[in-house]
Amino acid sequence: MFAVIKTGGKQYTVRAGDVLRVELIDAVAGDKVQFNEILMVGGEKVTVGAPMVAGAAVQADVIDNIKGEKTIHFVKRRRKHSSQRTKGHRQKWTLVRVSEIMASGADKSGVKAAIGTADARRAAHETK
């Protein structure tokens, strides 16, 4: 059985047991999270969502929160101005191991939804 999930603006094809590196989600190592934005579920019967499959979910265990490779952006401006600048960036990732793909009954599972940290901050700010 496989599923196509959407998280962090990207789409991933997953199977049970796969280890994924997704954009940072609001969870710590050892937590169990559930991805609710499922675009397609396949197996013996393929179900394609319009745009999402109702009631489907993918549950995963959080392995760790990590930082990616550092990317260097070097900017050198025109001559006679002696202006140079170096900018660096390290993307934050969450490693998850897919444990279960549910074609239906996701709303009754009671597992915390996997949301990004920006969405979590926004939701916490709106509840105050």
Q: pLDDT per residue over 6-63, tens digit each?
A: 998 899 999 999 999 999 999 999 999 999 999 999 988 999 989 999 999 999 999 9
Taking the complete model, does pTM exceed 0.75, yes or no? yes
Peptide bond into 51 cis (omega under 30): yes
Whole-angstrom distance, CA of residue 21 vs CA of residue 34: 15
Alpha carbon separation from 109 to 36, 50, 58, 59, 118 (Å, rounded): 11, 23, 11, 10, 24
pLDDT at 72: 87
Q: pLDDT per residue over 74-102, tens digit each?
A: 887 777 777 778 888 999 999 999 999 99
Q: Count CB neighbours of 13 within 10 A.
A: 12
